Amino acid sequence: MEMSIQMTPRTVHVHPGLTPLQARTLNHVAVAQALAEAGVEHFAVRGLEDRVPVIGVRADERDAVVAALAGLARRSRAYLSSIMPKPAVRDVLLDGADDAAWGKVAGAKVLRLVWFRTDPTQTLVYGREYGCDIEFWGTARDGRIWGPRHNRVGRVLPGEDTPVEAPMELFTRLAGVGRTLPPVRTRPEMTVTLPDDITFPIDLVYTWVDGTDPAWQQKRAQVTGETYHAESASAARFLSRDELRYSLRSIHANAPWIRNIYIVTDEQTPPWLDSTQPNIRVVSHKEIFSDPTVLPVFNSHAIESQLHRIGGMAEHFLYLNDDMFFGRPLAPQTFFLANGLSKFFLSQGRVPVGPVRVDDTPVDAAHKNNRRLLADKFGPVTTQVFQHVPYALRRSVMAEIEAEFRAEYTATMASRFRSTEDLSPVSNLYHHYAFLSGRALPGSVKYGYVQLAVPDLAARLARALERRDWEAYCINDAFSTEDQLAVQDAVLRPFLDGYFPVPSPYEKQA
């Protein structure tokens, strides 16, 4: 089909259920098959860009390579650009079916074939940034071959070697451990485990509640006692707008390296969730609380304190609220180092100085309690808070924190609603503790935050949808009134549908 891409008409291929990793895979397979059918020796290269597949060929076979690729471009309507050297005209993209285009890149050491691919909604288009690079490797006098640019293994390789098949997962960190992708033809040197390769599994945990569920509302109404701060009891804190559905779509599209997903709930299951999928499980509070007699609880601090008790979960895991989303494809190295250390993402926010006050928000009170415990154990006084992005955690470190601060941790677990005595185990305490004990370090992620109770909500969401430049973001709500909720929902739903149009495997088929 034809579409206008940045005001230029392009041929676009439509693929049901398309994800970024699938677009990358399709492009790699197309080029590799064309070269193989032409009898051209080629090998997958461990490139520096996770989204861009790279295939190496010998420069002295350039005529055969160009003939094979030109034929592929004509058959599949691919576009062409020079990557090295960079073209004089910025962002130039040539029609690969035009013979003249190949003459214009005759001296290029690296070419890129580009296909524009979209899903049936035509909302997302994966193009230039997922194209397949073809590198022309020269031959030295001693027979060794050398690459035109750096890669993750080495630019100089032995001249003669036996080609091998290897998992495509080795060639992009977007795939992760255990993915089933087509094997690729490569060289043995490209199959080694590198120091930054993450080989351990990473799981993901959500906490989720549907505050509109009558049974849950009745359970909450039966609980006696008052909450100390209005934010603790705000209806917005327990409202479900189906954010979980779209957060799961964001994981499916942008973090396919996640192994298993656990959804921790109070005996609830979203009606749209297909829990028969092998790598997703709904976990009841009753399964993980070390003292189930304290249940029911309606305090996220209490629930989060028990996440490390999920049976069968990996040592390394991410924790998300259902209002967190992956906006762009991210590698697991965003959150962990290959040696197991976790990363955290500091905010410019500060914890108010002084001890806990009765008018502190639940968050500030918890952070102050964390600060006191950490100062007593390690010495430094913590002041910064963390961005509201996926939290990288380790089960063993959480268990150690629980043992170290047993009395305070147990009190938090038993705190039915947020109180001034709480700790905030995963959003604050864990990261400071892990850093001060040498098991975490600062990371960086391009992050967005939208508070729903703002007057320019529609404009902010429109900007996010247009630019799609956040790697991770949160759409948070804590203070909205009942009157505001319906208005917000009318803006939020179209935004989420537009940002994540492709259903995940975790949704029941209509």
Per-residue model confidence as pLDDT tens digits over 85-137: 988 777 689 999 999 999 999 999 999 999 999 999 999 999 999 999 999 99
pTM: 0.93
Residues whose CB is less than 8 angstroms from the CB of residue 138 and which lie 6 or more positions away in sequence, other chains included:
59, 145, 146, 148
How many residues are present in the chain? 510
Whether the per-residue pLDDT at 178 is higher than 80: the answer is no
Q: How far apart are CA 484 and CA 27, in angstroms?
A: 46
Q: Provide the phi-psi class of 39: left if phi over 0, else alpha when psi is between -120 and 50, else beta.
A: left
Long-range Cβ contact pairs of 403-409 (< 8 A, separation 24 or more):
404/377, 404/433, 405/373, 408/369, 408/373, 409/305
Which pLDDT band, with edges at 50, 70 and 90, does 312 fall under?
very high
Q: What is the pLDDT of residue 240?
A: 60
Place of tokens 């576009």: 79
Whether the per-residue pLDDT at 177 is higher than 60: the answer is yes
Question: pLDDT tens across 2-40, in order?
Answer: 888 888 899 999 999 999 999 999 999 999 999 999 999
The amino acid sitting at 280 is I
Which pLDDT band, with edges at 50, 70 and 90, does 453 fall under?
confident
Question: pLDDT tens across 185-221, in order?
Answer: 999 999 999 999 999 999 999 999 988 888 888 888 8
What sign does the dihedral 186-187-193-196 (CA atoms) show? negative
Calculate mean pLDDT across residues 386-415.
97
Strand 156-157, strand 125-126: pairing: unpaired
Question: pLDDT tens across 48-58, in order?
Answer: 999 999 999 99
Numbered ranges of CATH 3.90.550 in the chain: 202-499
**Residue 460 CB neighbours (<10 A):** 18
Q: What is the dihedral of CA 152, 153, 154, 156, to 10 degrees?
A: -130
Q: How far apart are CA 17 and CA 14, in angstroms?
A: 9
Please report the DSSP string for 441-468 in residue order.
Answer: EE----EEEEESSSTTHHHHHHHHHHH-
Q: What percent of the chain has pLDDT above 90? A: 84
- Read off the tokens for 501: 């149009």
Q: Taking each helix axis as running N to C, give the angle between helix 20-37 and helix 62-76, from 0 to 180 degrees, rounded to the nearest 10.
A: 130
Q: What is the pLDDT of residue 291?
A: 97
Q: How far apart are CA 368 and CA 422, in angstroms?
A: 9
| Percentages of the chain per state (helix, strand, coil), in multiples of 5 | 35, 20, 45
- Read off the tokens for 116: 């524009």
Calculate mean pLDDT across residues 382-387.
96
Q: How far apart are CA 432 and CA 374, in angstroms?
A: 8
Q: What is the pLDDT of residue 448?
A: 95
Q: How far apart are CA 195 and CA 75, in angstroms?
A: 41
The CATH code of the domain at 202-499 is 3.90.550
Q: What is the pLDDT of residue 366?
A: 97
- For residue 318, what are the CA distances in angstroms to 69, 162, 201, 321, 334? 41, 40, 11, 10, 11
Which pLDDT band, with edges at 50, 70 and 90, does 228 fall under?
very low
CA angle 113, 119, 120 (to 5 degrees): 135
Q: How far apart are CA 113 and CA 94, in angstroms?
A: 10
